Amino acid sequence: RGGATARGCSSAGGGGAVGVVNQEGETRLELRIDDVDGTWEIAEAIADAADAGDVVLLEGEVGAGKTTFARGFIRAFTGDPDATVASPSFLLHLQYPGGPCTLHHLDLYRLLPDRDLAFLGLEEVLPTGVSLIEWPSPKLAHMLPESLLKVHLTEEAAAAPAPEEGGGGEEEGEEEDSSQKS
C-alpha cells in the first residue's frame, strides 16, 4: 500500500519520527512511512532483530498495510526475497521455516470475539519461534509474553499508490476482501 504510520517500532529509514510517547508503562515511537518501500524497510529491520519467543502484533484497519508489512517481514526473516507469502486469513496459522527458527504467521480476523483460542495451541507455539499475528484478539493477552512488539499501521489519506510489481501489496488472487474485513 502507500504511506502509513507505524506505531510501536523503531526507525530504520523510510520515514521520520513523529513522536515518542510513554503511556501506561509502554514506550511508543510513531513513524511516518511515505511509501511501500518504507514499510518494507521497517518490517525487514524488525525481522532482522527477531528471535525465538518474540511476538509481533500487527494492528490496523483494512488496507493499512498489514499484509505488505507481513510479506516484507517474512521474506527478510526467512532470507528468501522471492518467498510466496500467502495470507493466513482462512487457515489461521501458516509456518515458514528457513530463518533462525520457525516463523508462525497468524491471522485471527475471522475468529469470533467469543471464540476460545485454545484450539490453536498458541501456548506451545509462541515460545518456539517468532510469531507474527495479524488482527490480534484481546483473548490472547494471557498467552502473550510480557515483552512484545505492537505495530499499528494506519493508511494516510494522501498515500502514494503501490508500485505495479515487487513493492508489496496483495499477491495476485489474494486481495483483502474489504467487504468482509471492516
Q: What angle do CA 27, 32, 33 make, to 5 degrees?
A: 120
Which of the pair, 33 or 11, is modelled with greater confidence? 33
Binned at pLDDT 50, 70 and 90, residue 46 comes out as: very high
State residue 137's pLDDT score.
81
Res 48: pLDDT: 93
pLDDT of residue 8: 40
Select the more confidently predicted residue: 138 or 51: 51
**What is the model's pLDDT at position 69?**
92
The residue-averaged pLDDT of 89-97 equals: 83
pTM recorded for the entire structure: 0.70
Q: Which one of 62-76, 108-122, 136-150 scores highest in mean pLDDT?
A: 62-76
Which pLDDT tens digit goes with each residue over 25-36? 555 667 777 788
Say if residue 143's pLDDT is above 50: yes
Distance CA 86, CA 111 (A): 18
Per-residue pLDDT at 86: 81
Write down the pLDDT at residue 54. Answer: 92
Nearest to 106 by CA among 98, 119, 114: 119
Q: DSSP for 30-57, please give it.
A: EEEE-SHHHHHHHHHHHHHH--TT-EEE
Strands 26-33 and 15-23: antiparallel
3-class DSSP state of 104: strand
Strand-pair partners of 172: none
Cα separation, 146 vs 86, whole angstroms: 29
The average confidence (pLDDT) of the chain is: 73
Which pLDDT band, with edges at 50, 70 and 90, does 167 fall under?
very low
Task: Quickly count helices (H) and strands (E) in the chain.
Answer: 3, 8
